[in-house]
Amino acid sequence: MPAVTVDNILALPRIPMPDATAVPRPVRSVTTAPTGYEGEGFPVRRAFAGLDMASLDPFIHMDQMGEVNYAPGEPKGTPWHPHRGFETVTYMIDGIMEHKDSHGGGGVIGGGDTQWMTAGGGILHIEAPPEHLVLSGGLFHGVQLWVNLPRENKMAHPRYQDITGSRVALASSLDGGALVRVIAGEIAGMQGPGSTYTPIALSHSTIAPGAALTLPWNREFNALIYVLAGEGTVGAEKRPIRMGQTALFGRGDTIEMSASTAGESLEVFVLGGKPIREPVAMAGPFVMNTKSEVLQAFEDYQAGRLGVPVE
C-alpha cells in the first residue's frame, strides 16, 4: 500500500504530544462494512453502513474500492452517471483511474493522488481504468467519499481539484512510528491542499506494527476512523479494530489509535467535519435538501440538462 511514502520519516514535522488537559474522544461504535459491487462490477466495502446520517454529517457515503489484484482483461469502471448537490473525493492508493465529464474535464488519478469533484448543480462523469491497465491487469485500491454541500452551495458551478500526492501535507508521530498524510483541512498545524465548502479534515495514516498515534482533533468536528488494512486498537479504551471496520468517536480533543505488534502496518483513513445540520433528501446519485429537489434533479438529468456523455 504505497500511496505517498518518504525516505526518512524522522525528517518530517512531528505531531506534538497532546496537552495534559486534552480529553481523549471515546469510541461510540465499531461497525463492519458489508461488501458489494459498484459500476460495472468492481468490488467495494460500504464503510458507513449501519451509521446514522446525523453521526456522519457532513459526510454522506464512503466506499473502499478494492483492494483487488485484477487479472488481464478484468479491470472495471463505471458507466456515465450524474451527480448533483455534493462532492465526490476519490483517493487512489494503488492503481490508476481515468475520468472525464460532460463539461469537457478529465484527467488521470494515480497512487497517492486525489480527485476532488464538486458536482454542485449537476454533472455527468465516467471513471474507468486506462486501456493499458485493462490489458495488463494489476492492483487497484482506493477510497471514494461523498461530502455534502450546504444548501447555499448545492447548485454551485461544478469544479475539480486535482491533488497530486506530492502536494499532501506530511507529518510523523514523535517517535517516527506513524506517517500522517493530510489531504484536506488542518491536523496538528498541518494544512492539507484540498479546498472545502464546509470545514472538514481528511487524512491517511500508516502506523507501524506496535506503534501508536494520537491526533489532536477540532472539538467542533465529528470524528471517524476507517481501517484500510491491518488491525489494532482505537480510543483510550483500546477497542479492537481491523480492516473493513469504522470507528465512530464521541466528543473530545484527541483521537487515539495503535497498530498490533504482529503483522502488517495499520492503515487508517481518518476524517471528520463540522456538521451542516440541514435536512438531507437523497436518492441514487443526488443529495438535496427536499424530496422535490431530488425529483427535479431526476427530471433535469432525463432532460439532458446535466450534460451529455462525450467521447
R_g of the chain, CA atoms, integer Å: 19
Q: How confident is the model at residue 217 (pLDDT cuts 50, 70, 90)?
A: very high
Q: Report percent pLDDT > 90 for the chain.
A: 74
Confidence of residue 22 (pLDDT cuts 50, 70, 90): very high
Who has greater pLDDT, 156 or 107? Answer: 156
170 beta partners = 181
Q: Which residue has better confidence, 160 or 293?
A: 293
Q: So what's the pLDDT on residue 38?
A: 75
- Helix, strand, coil fractions of the chain, as percent rounded to 5: 10, 45, 45
What is the per-residue pLDDT across 48-77, written as a single tens digit (0 to 9) for each? 999 999 999 999 999 998 888 888 877 777
The rounded mean pLDDT for the chain is 92
Q: DSSP states of 71-106 as a string?
A: PTT-------EEEBSEEEEEEEEES-EEEEETTS-E
Find the mean pLDDT for residues 34-45.
81
More confident call, 106 vs 267: 267
Percentage with pLDDT > 70 across the chain: 98
Q: Is 11 strand, coil or helix?
A: helix
